[in-house]
Amino acid sequence: MPRRPRRPTRVDTHLHLSRWWNDLPRTGYRPDLDYTVRGLLAEMDRNAIEYGVILQLHEAPSVAEGLAEARRSSASANGRLLPVSTVDPTRGPEEVRRALALWERDPTLKGVKLYPGYQSFYPHDPRVEPILEFAHRRNVPVLVHQGDTLTPGGLVKYARPIELDEVAVRYRDVTFVLCHLGNPWVHEAAELVYKNENVYADTSGLLAHPSAPLFDRMVAQARRVVEQAVVTVGRSDRFLYGSDWPLEELRVAVDLIESLDLPAEDRAKILGGNARRLFHLPDRRPGSS
């Protein structure tokens, strides 16, 4: 029997599912959104997304509680939701040591997230070094929030892509992900990806809330921005699809990539192929080999 051509695996590399998410009725893309593992999986299924990377929030009261929550979500999603933990290096070396001890004992951990713009530190701050050394030992990526902060209390000077260049050079064996394509410093982000083979960028967070009056034009602008970044780099293999759910609807975020004026092969890589390689994910859909 001839085999039907299969759609490549899709991976959403930037999701948040946490009881510490702030003000869901206001920030969620829809006020009545089903903000549960079940709700997320149903939305992933509707958009043919196989895996989701869950980034823990800096609002979690402790690393241990954040990690425990991520593990529970992952277990109840039959491994389709992949945990990424976070720690605030400005809380001192003891806090970082405790986080490292927890991470060392967790074989399911898929990466570490840093929030420089929210916690006021540069990625090249010496307090971050033990985290980068852990990422090197464990061969997991370091995802770095970049660009605009969701709250006006953040300090975006810490969140510019250029601030990551020094560690990208010093830690060539560590892979970094510039979240949100550094928005609004998207050209700076593209340069970092172009120059550093160990730097990726995700496409999450390029859109405001869907209720914004200029939302449709924002989608068109985001499309141009992602296309320009890919063209600047000259290759699509270090760009990752991400939604920043629950801020954005998965359908809108997937459509953004599907509508890019790029060859289908490149869109498929951005939607999942690159993430599968980065996070070492099997193709586990029914009928896959």
**Binding of Zn ion at residue 148 (CB under 5 A)?**
no
3-state secondary structure 198-248: CEEEECCCCCCCCCCCCHHHHHHHHHHHHHHHHHHHCCCCCEECCCCECCC
* Number of residues in contact with Zn ion under rule CB under 5 A: 1
As measured in angstroms, the least distance from the Cβ of 256 to Zn ion is: 16
Tell me whether residue 165 or residue 244 sits nearer to Zn ion (CB atom).
244
The C-alpha atoms of residue 214 and residue 237 are separated, in whole angstroms, by 31
Which CB sits closer to Zn ion, 77 or 177?
Answer: 177
Stretch touching Zn ion by CB under 5 A, among 163-171, 188-196, 236-244, 266-274 = 236-244
d(CA 103, CA 111): 10
Instruction: Provide, rounded to whole angstroms, the least separation between the CB of residue 57 and Zn ion.
Output: 8
Residue 244 interacts with Zn ion (CB under 5 A)? yes
Which amino acid is it at 31?
A: P
Q: Which stretch binds Zn ion (CB under 5 A): 71-79, 100-108, 162-170, 237-245?
A: 237-245
Which CA distances in Å does 164 have to 93, 149, 194, 206, 212? 21, 17, 13, 19, 31
Helices (H), the chain: 24-27, 37-46, 63-76, 93-104, 116-119, 129-138, 165-170, 186-195, 215-233, 250-258, 264-268, 274-278
Tell me how far, at minimum, the Cβ of 204 lies from Zn ion, in Å. Answer: 6
Tell me, rounded to whole angstroms, the distance of Cα 14 from its chain centroid.
3
Nearer to Zn ion, 55 or 262 (CB): 55
**From residue 190 to residue 229, what is the string marking binding to Zn ion with x (rule CB under 5 A)?**
----------------------------------------
Smallest distance from Zn ion to CB 179, Å: 6
Span of 25-33, 42-50, 192-200, 242-250 interacting with Zn ion by CB under 5 A: 242-250
Task: Please state the φ and ψ torsions of residue 168, each to the nearest 5 degrees.
Answer: -60, -35
8 vs 246, which CB is nearer to Zn ion? 246
Name the closest residue to Zn ion (Cβ): 244
Closest approach of Zn ion to the CB of residue 3, in Å: 37
CA 21 to chain centre: 16
> Residue numbers of the site for Zn ion (CB under 5 A)?
244
